[in-house]
């Protein structure tokens, strides 16, 4: 019953303010898509991709989440730098013998070998080397005095477990050993993080608008997406391949598979080493110009 008889019911309803429709929060929208709890990893990834298609999460976020899921299934052996591609220092070397290696590689950590290639006695940090020569009052140098302990891990260790150990131990490099205790490679925290967040800028990175960067008369960094025509024009070559437009495409065809970081191949006058790659394609190459005459090699060998 209307308590105010002077106000008609119709007018009373018209005097009420319309209720505001509350927009769902991002969390509510995300939960709406995931309302049906995925029972398999494939269903979870499908739901996440649906969230991206509905603009609930952006593509970068989706890529990182998929990276986290992928890392939990990956083992160290899949992303490590193989022993043959490791840049190392011998414990018997004098500073004059290895300083060039330290400078040219631009790395910050170097495994130091003992009596054999399978004996890693420690890790040399470039900053420790610099500190030693800055503060030392004499010329005596024993590399063992400034070595950091090496961490050894099996090839089968999962990447997510390794990442947790890297964070808790504040360590950035581990030596990978096989089932017989021999050194099979190394891995860094950056190698693991790149599986989650994608490429991390490092000492090899070059400007976005530059395809080829010259380090010396024989050493160059080349983006895999460098047009084959531009690569040929830069070096005066005649690399050709049917249906191939980039130097990365040419190198991948010669490999016959998607190469991992550290793999190398010689094509004509150049030795190409993969500096950066993922499971789908290459990103960055090192091109080492060999000391050959043009007549001694075939450009599109």
pLDDT digits (tens, 9 = 90+) for 259-293: 887 889 999 999 999 888 776 678 889 999 987 65
Examine the pLDDT at 111 and tell me if it is beyond 90. yes
Locus of tokens 């000492």: 203
pLDDT at site 31: 62
Q: pTM of this prediction?
A: 0.58
Handedness of CA 175, 286, 263, 69 (dihedral sign): positive
Q: Which domains does the chain have, with CATH numbers?
A: 37-71 (no CATH), 77-197 (3.10.580.10), 212-296 (3.30.465.10)
- Summary mean pLDDT of the chain: 81
pLDDT band at 133 (very low <50, low <70, confident <90, very high): confident
Cα–Cα distance between 272 and 290 in angstroms, integer? 10
pLDDT band at 76 (very low <50, low <70, confident <90, very high): very high
Instruction: Output 4 or 91, whichever has higher pLDDT.
Output: 91
Examine the pLDDT at 4 and tell me if it is beyond 60. no
- Rounded to 10 degrees, the C-alpha dihedral 250/253/259/263 comes to -70
In the Cβ-directed half-sphere of 50, how many Cα atoms lie within 13 Å? Answer: 15
Which residue, among 3, 146, 160, has the nearest Cα to 79 in the 3D structure?
Answer: 160
pLDDT tens per residue across span 82-97: 888 788 999 998 888 8
β-strand 109-113 against 219-223: which pairing, if any?
A: unpaired
Element (H, E) at 195: helix 189-197
Q: Which whole number is the average pLDDT over 23-42?
A: 67
What counts of helices (H) and strands (E) characterise the chain? 10, 12
pLDDT band at 104 (very low <50, low <70, confident <90, very high): confident
Q: What are the angstrom distances between the C-alpha of 274 and each of 3, 241, 243, 271, 285?
A: 84, 20, 22, 10, 5
Handedness of CA 113, 114, 116, 122 (dihedral sign): negative
Cα–Cα distance between 247 and 2 in angstroms, integer? 83
Cα–Cα distance between 91 and 89 in angstroms, integer? 6
Which residue, among 278, 260, 262, 263, has the nearest Cα to 67 in the 3D structure?
Answer: 278
Pair of tokens at residue 278: 């993922």
DSSP code per residue over 53-65: HTTSS-HHHHHHH
Cα–Cα distance between 204 and 262 in angstroms, integer? 13
Q: What is the DSSP letter of 3?
A: S
β-strand 264-267 against 173-177: which pairing, if any?
A: unpaired
Cα–Cα distance between 130 and 175 in angstroms, integer? 23
């Amino acid at each position: 019953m209307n308590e105010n008889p002077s106000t008609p019911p119709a007018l009373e309803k018209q005097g009420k303010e319309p209720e505001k429709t509350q927009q769902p929060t991002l969390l509510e929208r995300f939960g709406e898509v995931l309302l049906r709890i995925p029972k398999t990893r494939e269903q979870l990834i499908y739901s996440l991709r649906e969230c991206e298609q509905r603009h609930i999460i952006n593509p970068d976020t989706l890529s990182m989440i998929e990276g986290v899921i992928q890392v939990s299934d990956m083992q160290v052996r899949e992303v490590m730098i193989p022993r043959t591609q490791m840049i190392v220092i011998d414990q018997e070397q004098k500073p004059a013998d290895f300083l060039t290696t330290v400078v040219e590689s631009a790395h910050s950590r170097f495994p130091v070998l003992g009596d054999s290639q399978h004996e890693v006695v420690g890790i040399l940090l470039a900053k420790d080397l610099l500190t030693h020569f800055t503060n030392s009052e004499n010329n005596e140098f024993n590399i063992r005095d400034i070595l950091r302990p090496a961490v050894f891990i099996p090839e089968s260790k999962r990447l997510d477990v390794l990442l947790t150990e890297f964070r808790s131990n504040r360590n950035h490099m581990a030596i990978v050993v096989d089932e017989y205790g021999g050194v099979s490679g190394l891995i860094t925290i950056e190698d693991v993080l790149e599986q989650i967040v994608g490429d991390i800028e490092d000492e090899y990175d070059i400007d976005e608008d530059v395809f080829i960067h010259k380090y010396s008369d024989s050493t160059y960094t080349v983006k895999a997406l460098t047009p084959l025509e531009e690569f040929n024009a830069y070096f005066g070559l005649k690399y050709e391949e049917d249906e191939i437009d980039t130097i990365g495409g040419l190198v991948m065809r010669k490999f016959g598979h998607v190469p991992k970081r550290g793999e190398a191949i010689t094509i004509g006058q150049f030795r190409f080493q993969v500096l950066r790659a993922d499971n789908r394609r290459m990103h960055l190459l090192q091109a080492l110009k060999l000391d050959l005459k043009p007549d001694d090699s075939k450009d599109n060998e």
